[in-house]
Amino acid sequence: MVTKDLESSVPASALKPMRARRFDVLILLWLALAAILAFLVINPLARLLLASLESPDTGAYTLANYVAAYGRPRHLQALWNSMLLGAGVTALCLAFAVPIAWAVSRTNMPAKNLVRLLVMGAFVTPPYLGAVGWILLAGPNSGWINRVWQMLTGASEGVFNIYSFPGLALIIALYSFPYLFIFTTAALDVVSSEMEDAANILGAGTLKTTFKVTLPLVLPAILGGAIVTFLEAIALFGSPALIAIPARFNVVTTQLLQFFSVPVRAEVAAAYALPLLLITVALYWLQQRLVRRKGFVTMTGKGGERRLIELGLGRWLLLGYALIVLSLSVVLPYLVLAQAAFSKAWGRGFSLDNLTLGNFTFLMFEHFTARQSIINSFAYAAAAACLAITLALGIAYIVQRRLVPFAGVLSFLAMAPFVVPGIVLAIAFYAAYAPPPFALYGTATILILAFTTRFLPIGFANASAAMRSINPELEEAVRIQGGGRLASIRYVVAPMMKRSLIGAWLLVFIPATRELSTAMFLYGPDTRPMSVMLLDLSEEGNFERLAALGFMLLAATLLIVVGASLLLGRDFMMRRNAT
Amino acid sequence: MFDRPFRTARVRPAGAVLVSLLAALAIAAAPARADMKALVEAATKEASLTWYTAHYNAETAETIGRKFTQLYPGIKVNVIRTTAQVAYQRLSQDIKNKTANCDVFSSTDLGHYATLKPQGKLAKFVPENAAKLAKDYQGLDPDGTFYPTAAFLVLITYNTQKVKPEDVPKKWTDLLDPKFAGKVTVGHPAFSGAVGTWVMTMKKLYGWDYFTKLEKGKPQIGRSIVDTVTMLNSGERAVGAGPSATTLQSMEKGNPLGVVYPEDGVVIIVSPSAVMIDAPHPNAARLFMEFLLGTEHAEVDAKDGNESLRPEVKSVMKGLRPLTEVKVLRPTVEEAQKGIPEVIEQWRDTFGN
């Protein structure tokens, strides 16, 4: 049957016998992919290392850049602040994500679909937009929360100051916890109830079983998620720019920006960024070890019986907790952002004479570069997603089929950008491709290549997972018929993986539309993406326009997500089988 | 009091305006007209220009860009509005990578021009309109590489609902009063050129001590000086060191704001523009420079509450006072070049970032 399908779908030209071919075309493919990865991954990182060790004027070997980078207490303080911030965000994310994940995956908590939908809402919200929402909510005197508090208690001071270290940690956590949620639910979804039953039979209650059996089983997944959260938190640029400057402290990313102020000291930035890279590599290695050592023997396959834990009153308490967290993350910020986007002055509150569409019309029709930057963002994200998925598909094919020696090198390189924070990648690309001979500074090409590199690991992980599910015999049928490797990829593998590839494409596309830190230092006036324009607008503190721009970004993203979900018949990130 | 006194800008009386207007008309003879025509033609062929500007808030900057396109159809202005130091950072990055992106560079930090000029980055160009500026704004650069094209003031600004009339500050030192602790808003000198100029001027008046005292009152620090307007409007803060133009625009829209011309002096931000030596659109850039120095642009500026640089255009914004009536503090180009980088470092040490 497969053969018959092939005859009808593979053009005759692709099935010509190829006697002349001396070696498998795959070797060529391997070489091409290796060359691309060398260009995207190895060269920028090598240039970063070299730049950090070179005197910018003479090119001589020097450690002066490291002295400049670490010689000042203020710079060390920024590094320490980032570590603290990462730890604080991770702790908060654990508190937010794990109970909600457990409730959604293992209990009979009501309104699960609503909770999942809101978690997805938090996932697609750009962190800097969330930060703007929280400035409106918790500005120390004018924030809605503080105003209500003052009104209710008659206090002269607000209750929560967003311009503070805890404030920054909170708003980063509110938009990072979906990562941990996804990691945790994915692991909990395959834990069978038998182990829990054993504990129950031995007399343990629900709580004890959960803490002694269920959670330890998924601990590696939780730790893995926690490490990703930590890495995300220390690499973030947008929220610290909005919060940490008024709160008067520095983190690594805002400090890196300072090295790019005049005189531009990219080499000092490189020296300052490398330890950040080492930290992430070390943590990633730790995560790999944790996952390996604990093993997943009890969780292989989905064979075991799964029953939901029946909770009484507890299920309502859990729902209440989930809704509080998600209100803080999604509902309240969007409420105040909507108010601001349609206001002349958000501080004047809800009144008819304060209503306006002016913020939208200004951005659409009066602002010369706003429209262009929206188009830029979506065009670059789409191009990067296509490139990343094409690359990922090729690499996954070679790696999975083990057809050439040293295939593993490719998979290592494809995953390597995962540990490179966006802002470090930007500096590496800047060092490698901004100056001649490439002279790509400010071009669309350098932005697209940087985005492709940044999100290649997501594409690769998804493509390999999908590839694993395809039986090689189907391709062998093509080969028996005389088709080449490429024909088998084009006519068999790619069509069969279409759905999962669209899902993977979206997982690259969405974060790329709002990527800020990778775009830093690389864009020019004509290639400014929306994320950077948002940052420029935020200098003036014009939150009404920022909110309006954020809504336009979000509306466009949602349109694409909803369209793709309809196309795929499922939501693209949370579950493989929607229930 | 100063080793070199600040020059006080004076707007000239109406009679003198008339004389200079007539003189200008006399100078604007036929040959210059022909030059202009050739420039417009060449500029129209280039079709666009990129303008890095820190002179205005985003709204006024976009209005000015559109006004130019209206006057010279077919030439679009790619307006990149940021704070002065961010604009300068991007320009320096462009220069370092030998990528010419910027045609006209408009910063609020005079020092940028003093640094760029000896590096040969600024084009020498004598616009026809340069000689028609008010006398106080002429001859900023004797070599003709940069010209003032805008000016606004740093004033004491306040929220009228949060500050009782008897408490309204009268001079800069009043911002240090403990009753304003936790109520002051300012921009950041490492971003805003106007804030850098203000900080440098306060330091000259009162020593760095002014800022160690200000720090004790925990001011809210934004980035652009325009941010202070938002902070006052929303009631987040009560008083600030804010920009004249954006604050007055906001008052005009009905927001509860007030401005004070401090007794110890208003700081004037005379903001130059320059055509870059490697401008990708050299003719459009020069035409834009003519436009920035011309009356059509001066009218937009005057309407939005900036100072008018052309004697024949009068400021019409309510709340703006003639500079002849007040004490004006105006630092020199050399002071800015040396002083602003210094105060940025000092600021970071005092305020933490």
Residue A551 has pLDDT above 50, yes or no: yes
Query: Does any domain span residue A578?
Result: no
**pLDDT for residue A495:** 79
CA distance B271 to chain A (A): 18
Span A92-117, pLDDT tens digits: 999 999 999 999 998 999 999 999 98
Residue of A245, A368, A538 with shortest CB distance to B62: A368
Which residue is associated with the tokens 């020296």? A271
Query: Does any domain span residue A374?
Result: yes
- The length of chain A is 579
Binned at pLDDT 50, 70 and 90, residue A26 comes out as confident
Contact B230 A262 (CB under 8 A): no
Binned at pLDDT 50, 70 and 90, residue A4 comes out as very low
Which residue is associated with the tokens 């429209």? A371
> Radius of gyration of chain B from Cα atoms?
20
Binned at pLDDT 50, 70 and 90, residue A463 comes out as confident
Query: Does any domain span residue A354?
Result: no
CB < 8 Å from B in window 166-225 of A: none
What residues contact residue A4 under an 8 Å CB cut-off, 6+ apart? none
Torsion of CA A567, A571, A577, A578, to 10 degrees: -110
Instruction: Put residue B126 in one of left, alpha, beta given phi > 0 → left and psi -120 to 50 → alpha.
Output: beta
Q: Which residue has the higher pLDDT, A215 or B46?
A: B46
Residue A521 has pLDDT above 90, yes or no: no
Query: Does any domain span residue A360?
Result: no
**pLDDT for residue A570:** 58
Show the DSSP H helices in A403-481 as ranges. Answer: 407-415, 422-433, 444-468, 472-480
Residue A216 has pLDDT above 80, yes or no: yes
* Helical (H) or strand (E) element with A37: helix A25-37
Enumerate long-range contacts of B139-144, CB under 8 Å, 24 or more apart.
B140/B270, B140/B272, B140/B333, B141/B113, B141/B117, B141/B272, B141/B333, B143/B117
- List the single best residue of B103, B223, B246, B337 to mutate versus A (max A Cβ within 10 A): B223
Mean pLDDT (chain A) is 84
Q: By three-state DSSP, how is residue A334 classified?
A: helix
Binned at pLDDT 50, 70 and 90, residue B31 comes out as very low
Query: Does any domain span residue A6?
Result: no
Span A131-163, pLDDT tens digits: 999 999 999 888 999 989 988 988 877 889 999
Distance in angstroms between the alpha carbons of the first and the last residue of chain A: 32
Residue of B101, B224, B234 with shortest CB distance to A142: B234
pLDDT, mean of residues A37-61 = 89
Structure tokens at A94: 């654990």
Span B194-245, pLDDT tens digits: 999 999 999 999 999 999 999 999 999 999 999 999 899 888 899 999 999 9
Span B157-191, pLDDT tens digits: 999 999 999 999 999 999 999 999 999 999 999 99
Contact B89 A141 (CB under 8 A): no
Span B43-94, pLDDT tens digits: 999 999 999 999 999 889 999 999 999 999 999 999 999 999 999 998 998 8
Domain holding A204, by residue range, is: 26-48+70-343+367-568
Which of A65, A421, A67, A51 minimizes the C-alpha distance to A251? A421
Query: Does any domain span residue A564?
Result: yes
Residue of B78, B89, B222 with shortest CB distance to A368: B78
Highest average pLDDT, of A157-166, A224-233, A486-495, B322-331, comes from B322-331
Show the DSSP H helices in A125-265 as ranges. Answer: 127-138, 144-153, 165-188, 193-201, 206-209, 215-235, 238-247, 252-259
**Which residues in chain B have their CB less than 8 angstroms from residue A139's CB?**
234, 236
Residue B307 has pLDDT above 90, yes or no: yes
DSSP-derived secondary structure for B121-149: -B-----GGGGGS-GGGTTSSTTSS-EEE
Query: Does any domain span residue A20?
Result: no
Mean pLDDT (chain B) is 89
Query: What's the DSSP call for residue B6?
Result: P
Angstrom distance (rounded) from CA A228 to CA A184: 12
CATH of the domain at A296: 1.10.3720.10
Residue A176 has pLDDT above 50, yes or no: yes
In angstroms, the Cα distances linking B2 to A50, A255, B7, B338 are: 49, 36, 11, 16
pLDDT, mean of residues A506-515 = 88
Which of B110, B199, B98 minimizes the C-alpha distance to B151? B110
User: Residue A407's CB: how many other CB atoms inside 10 A?
Assistant: 18
Residue of A254, A435, A524 with shortest CB distance to B101: A524
CA distance B62 to chain A (A): 6
CA distance A455 to chain B (A): 26
Q: Which residue has the higher pLDDT, A22 or A394?
A: A394
Contact B80 A369 (CB under 8 A): yes
In angstroms, the Cα distances linking B151 to A203, A274, B8, B146, B243 are: 80, 43, 14, 14, 10
Span B187-207, pLDDT tens digits: 999 999 999 999 999 999 999
Distance in angstroms between the alpha carbons of the first and the last residue of chain B: 31
Using an 8 Å Cβ cutoff, are A107 and A308 in contact?
A: yes
In angstroms, the Cα distances linking B178 to B208, B214, B238 are: 18, 10, 13
Span A355-365, pLDDT tens digits: 889 889 988 88
User: Residue B213's CB: how many other CB atoms inside 10 A?
Assistant: 15
Which of B143, B114, B147 minimizes the C-alpha distance to B129? B147
Contact B96 A249 (CB under 8 A): no
**pLDDT for residue A478:** 83
Contact A536 B86 (CB under 8 A): yes
DSSP-derived secondary structure for A252-271: HHHHHHHHTSSSP-HHHHHH
Contact A525 B222 (CB under 8 A): no
CA distance B99 to chain A (A): 7
Residue of A524, A528, A539 with shortest CB distance to B224: A539
CA distance A363 to chain B (A): 10
Angstrom distance (rounded) from CA B237 to CA B245: 19
Using an 8 Å Cβ cutoff, are A224 and A287 in contact?
A: yes
pTM listed for this prediction: 0.84
Angstrom distance (rounded) from CA B273 to CA B146: 6
Q: Which residue has the higher pLDDT, A490 or B338?
A: B338
Percent of chain B with pLDDT over 70: 91
Span A485-499, pLDDT tens digits: 778 777 887 777 877
Residue A218 has pLDDT above 50, yes or no: yes
Domains of chain B, start order: 14-149+271-316 (3.40.190.10), 152-267+332-351 (3.40.190.10)
Angstrom distance (rounded) from CA A430 to CA B78: 24
Taking CA–CA distances from A430, the nearest residue in chain B reads B97
Taking CA–CA distances from A164, the nearest residue in chain B reads B220
Residue A371 has pLDDT above 90, yes or no: no
Which of A238, A537, A516, A520 minimizes the C-alpha distance to A367? A537
**pLDDT for residue A293:** 54
**pLDDT for residue A23:** 60
Highest average pLDDT, of A526-535, A568-577, B44-53, comes from B44-53
Q: Count the domains in chain A.
A: 1
Query: Does any domain span residue A3?
Result: no
Asked whether this complex has an ipTM greater than 0.90, the answer is no
